[in-house]
Amino acid sequence: MISPARRLLLLLTLATTLFACTTVGPPTLDPEPPTPMTFSHDDFDAFLRRMVDTEGRVDYAAAAADRADLDRYLAALAARSPDSHPEVFPHEHDRLAYWINAYNASAIALVLREYPIAGVRDVRPLGPFSFLLPKGAGFFLLRRVVLGGKSTTLYGLENVVIRRRFDEPRIHFALNCASIGCPRLPAEAFEGARLETQLARETTRFLAERRNAHARPDEREIALSSIFDWFEDDFTGWLERRHPGRGSTLEAYVRLHAGDELARELDACADCDVVFVPYDWGLNAQPAPAP
């Protein structure tokens, strides 16, 4: 026979169990991880810090053997982009930083796919009519990369996506096509939160190098990188829209970002002709170590 005290204890236990059963729902699957609100460039940043020197040269030989962080970043680029996941790129700077990094990382990956090569023009088109294509077509037009689930080329990325969507000529001092004539590749990834500072820095650095911009008053010439020739409308058109009182010339754009030395040279070279420096298509590789 159960004592009253024991009967009360059993009733309380049963009531507690029944109450618990009515409040705890059926087991559920673990929820999918939430979509991150930002896109991480950390893997590319780590790769650049390891593989790029102060001259913007890449240690392709080392990268070919140690590229896990680059491959992770390429996989992230392939999975998401501002087009496929716009919620991850809330601001224009976030979107532009993604596309610049995507271009630079893809150029490195395409070099590694063909390495060793002396320059990107060594990547030849394939097929019976390849001889009809211009030099560089194999690298820029015919080798494809995947970004946000869509296949594109370096040419398409630069001209159809970046130049068409962003009214920002300073991208030409940030995009690196793995050639010596390009702007120096920074040893860090571009970030949306710091993009303005980074673009300003790279523009100043590019124009501070005499190979890219200098004046020769005695010869009545202003020598500029071929980049200013190929994309002249980007620079002069931006001036027309943003600074209509400055005059829409390449010299006016260069003056806007020139350091003291270049500004003095330009002052001494009024009405000089603009000439363009031949582009160096050699690979932007670090020198091989001495034997």
Positive or negative, the CA dihedral 269, 274, 278, 279 is: positive
Residue indicated by tokens 């020197």: 53
Q: Is 270 exposed, middle or buried (0-12, 13-18, 19+ CB in 10 A)?
A: exposed
204 contacts 257 by C-beta, under 8 angstroms = yes
275 contacts 221 by C-beta, under 8 angstroms = yes
- Residue 30 has a pLDDT of 43
> How many C-beta atoms lie closer than 10 Å to residue 30's C-beta?
5
- Residue 131 has a pLDDT of 77
CA distances from 291 to 118, 287, 288 (A): 19, 12, 9
Statement to judge: residues 133 and 50 lie in one domain: yes
Amino acid code (one letter) for 154: L
Statement to judge: residues 153 and 253 lie in one domain: no
Q: Count of domains in the chain?
A: 2
Statement to judge: residues 47 and 127 lie in one domain: yes
**Predicted TM-score of the model (pTM):** 0.86
Q: What is the pLDDT of residues 201-260, one digit of tens each?
A: 999 999 999 999 999 999 999 999 999 999 999 999 999 999 998 889 999 999 999 999
Tell me whether residue 252 is in a domain. Answer: yes
Statement to judge: residues 150 and 53 lie in one domain: yes
Q: What is the pLDDT of residues 145-197, one digit of tens each?
A: 999 999 999 999 999 999 999 999 999 999 999 999 999 999 999 999 999 99
Rounded Cα distance between 221 and 266, Å, is: 10
Q: What is the pLDDT of residues 122-149, one digit of tens each?
A: 998 877 777 788 899 999 999 999 999 9
- Residue 291 has a pLDDT of 67
192 contacts 93 by C-beta, under 8 angstroms = yes
CA distances from 102 to 32, 97, 105 (A): 27, 8, 5
Statement to judge: residues 159 and 86 lie in one domain: yes
Question: Residue 100 is part of which domain span?
Answer: 42-192
**Nearest of 70, 65, 64 to residue 49 by alpha carbon:** 70
Statement to judge: residues 105 and 217 lie in one domain: no
- Is residue 17 over pLDDT 90? no
Q: Is 289 exposed, middle or buried (0-12, 13-18, 19+ CB in 10 A)?
A: exposed
Statement to judge: residues 148 and 60 lie in one domain: yes
